[in-house]
A and B are shown apart, each in its own frame.
Chain A
Amino acid sequence: MAPFVVLDDVHVSYPSPGPGLEAPRILRGVSLSVAEGECLALLGPTGAGKSTLCLCLNGLIPHLVDGTFRGGVHIAGHSTREWTPGELSQTVGLVFQDAESQFVSMTVEDEVAFGLESLGLPPDEIEGRLAEALEVMEVGGLRSRSPLELSGGQKQRVALAAVMAMRPRVLVLDEPTTNLDPVGKAALLRAVSRLRVAWGTTIVWVTQDVDWVPHLADRVAVLWEGQIALEGGLREVFDQGALLRRMGLRVPQVRELAARFGSTGLGGYAWLGVDEAAEALRGRLGG
């Protein structure tokens, strides 16, 4: 499939944090492409530049954030440099790690409508998109609640609804599950799966939760020291356990187990999920 999101040798440095301190070079030549409708999981250690990459993807860098930007980001063939603010928010939606501190409204419905009102849509259309987004994210019952009173998982789903109501073609998720408990995580990932079905959205998903990656991602890329160090299919990337560990990352635990079996010649497994592993191991025990 033709690449839909293309980063071409992207460099970003932020202004120096103080006199005498050097300007941090965050991205040092990132090249990456994502096909239409694909979900790419982006892994990387703390401070590798993942959040900066997210801001590049939706054009906030270079449009709003201070710093120097080199290279090019193209979405559906259009460079982010040429975007108007409206195009920016309608092409790429961004969900941040901490939904709570980014809410501006006192009710869930006003929160979701905010972006649509900013786009200048007529009230009828706002109402329609609002209802649809709330339904897909399964937060319709929370319409008139204050976003502050919701659980962490519900907050993230409301934030997702607010972004998806703008019908972006690409969705960027910047560690959306970090503050969530397992129940919240599972519910959020289910919601993301549903929106892929409903809208066919292309997804870039930044995460530390490797055990959850196989649930959603088609491909994995690893950002390390401002560059893409590894990129490919899940099995291919997680095959590099030793390299990933050197970069400060781990692989899904069942993949670690598969490697352990491989290390003593007891089998060449490459499991990603528990069920897959269970089936293979059960077979050997004569089940």
Chain B
Amino acid sequence: MHFANGEVPAEYRRYIGLKVLFIAAVAAALALCLAVSISLGAADVPLKEVVRSLLGYGATRRFELIIWSIRLPQALTAVTAGAGLAAAGAAMQSILRNPLGSPFTLGVSHAAAFGAAFSVMVLGGGVMGSSNVGAVSITSPYATTAAAFAASLLAAGVIIMVSRTRGATPEVMVLTGVALGALFTAGTMFLQFFADDVQLAAMVFWTFGDTARASWPELAVAAAVTAAGCVYFMLHAWSYNAIDAGDETAKGLGVRVERVRVTGMLVASLVTAVIIAFLGVIGFVGLVVPHMVRRVIGSDHRFLLPASILTGGLLLLASDTAARLILAPHVLPVSVITAFMGAPVFIYLIVRGGRR
């Protein structure tokens, strides 16, 4: 083929430059928001102290304690969860060819809630809670986390098995996910029906997503899994672009569509499962963030994925900070804030016809 008369067009360079600029701006906003979030709270830490401490020049012992053992882990947990859920959402929307795809479309969160309820009732995980709410205390948080995680993976496993027999098409995966969601919801309700007051409170409380549940060890696990997942998604950015152009086009470009679809779904489920097992259900970030980003920089996954990851982190960190401050000293569940923000966008997407 002699396509020798081409050049690298300047206008395309500029166009790509703008996308890179957007990503850099979000990254800068995230860094700023992180510093502000850490400085605000029951005891205000001056912004200057926060920056100094983060850079390793902190001097005041009281501030060091607040920053490093309370505020920073919580803020980083919010960033990790937002980033992971948004990346999983962006990938799912492409893989499932469905603008309403999100980490929760496949019933992963319903399964996790069921797992947690199962742990409370049957495994005697007892009463759970969070450091924020004194009324409910944790007796065995790890059993509950493990049960929630196992149930999420069970849901993902069922979808993979069905995809194996019926072909990994978006229809098969979405429909199976919806069925599983209904099944696990019914299972949770069944358990709740027989639960006593304390158990019921624990089950309901678990579903409120809460970034304060994770401390450094949990954060490390969630961050490692999220980072690995994000790298996986970014390595497949071209494949997702190709799948957006249609399965046949993608196959013609050498993409193993079924394999990319099944592994992408598995990675998204894994990232989601780890996050919600530690933090509880945090809705809408995974659904809404990719759509917001798509509106600004388009659906080229080379840029959509990193931008969604950063925007997701930024959004959940901002919501989490708001949740801590709005009714201080009470801490609202962050999922409530994200859902208040996400639901209207969701409805807007439906009204607009669900077009990408």
Q: Do A and B assemble together?
A: no
Q: Which chain A residues have a beta carbon within 8 Å of chain B's beta carbons?
A: none
